[in-house]
């Protein structure tokens, strides 16, 4: 369980859709509060999934060779193949040129977004395939030592590790951070903030 959750946490940390949303949220007027709300929503959703998984199994993994154990292995295999399919689809999409987009109305609404809404975005813009994979990994584990609980906490912290530098940058040097985010999102989205 240890290595599996660490690898899944790292994969969640570099999930580009969530990083993009987070950067756009942090670049808004209430970026510091909304960034904290996004991180809190992300971690709260992971905690709920882990708690539901542990309570559903009664903290006792299925015995090897039984149908639930085989089902978990099949689910992990199917999810792994699904991730490979998604990666191939993304690789093919990267070759196509994208036209520059006009500034949308939703970008103006980012400045008025509340921290509660940012928490909802953090909870629902997680890579669902990786969350389900983590859940399947937790299903096959028995939490019996402090190291097991520490692994779960490390998994959660690792999954938000890429958000923390962006949030710190926006908090410490607001004007410079907004200029940087503006330049960065120009290349990302094709318009100015």
The full DSSP string for 67-100 is HHHHHHHHHHHHHHHHHHHHHHHHHHHHTS--PP
Yes or no: say if 104 and 189 are a contact pair by the CB < 8 Å rule. no
pLDDT of res. 89: 85
**What is the arithmetic mean of pLDDT over 144-149?**
81
pLDDT greater at residue 59 or residue 131: 131
| pLDDT class of 72 with cuts at 50, 70, 90 | confident
CA pseudo-torsion sign 42, 45, 47, 53: negative
Between CA 153 and CA 14 the distance in angstroms is 18
Closest among 26, 23, 177, 3 to 111, alpha carbons compared: 26
| pLDDT class of 193 with cuts at 50, 70, 90 | very low
> Which tens digit of pLDDT belongs to each residue from 9-48?
888 888 888 888 888 888 777 877 888 888 888 888 888 8
Residue 188 has pLDDT above 70, yes or no: no
Read off the pTM.
0.67
pLDDT greater at residue 122 or residue 177: 122
């Amino acid at each position: 369980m240890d290595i599996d959750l660490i690898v899944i946490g790292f994969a969640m940390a570099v999930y580009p859709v969530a990083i993009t949303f987070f950067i756009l949220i942090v670049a808004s007027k209430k970026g510091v509060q909304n960034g904290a709300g996004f991180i809190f929503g992300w971690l709260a959703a992971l905690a709920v999934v882990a708690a539901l998984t542990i309570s559903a199994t009664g903290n006792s993994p299925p015995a090897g060779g039984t149908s639930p154990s085989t089902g978990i292995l099949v689910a992990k295999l199917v999810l792994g193949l699904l991730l490979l399919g998604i990666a191939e689809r993304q690789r093919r999409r990267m070759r196509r040129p994208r036209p520059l987009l006009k500034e949308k109305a939703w970008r103006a609404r980012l400045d008025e977004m509340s921290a509660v809404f940012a928490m909802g975005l953090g909870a629902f813009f997680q890579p669902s395939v990786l969350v389900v994979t983590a859940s399947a990994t937790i299903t096959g584990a028995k939490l019996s030592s402090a190291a097991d609980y520490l692994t779960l906490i490390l998994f959660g912290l690792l999954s938000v590790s890429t958000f923390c530098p962006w949030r710190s940058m926006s908090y410490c040097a607001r004007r410079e951070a907004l200029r940087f985010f503006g330049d960065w999102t120009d290349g990302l989205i094709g318009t100015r903030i």
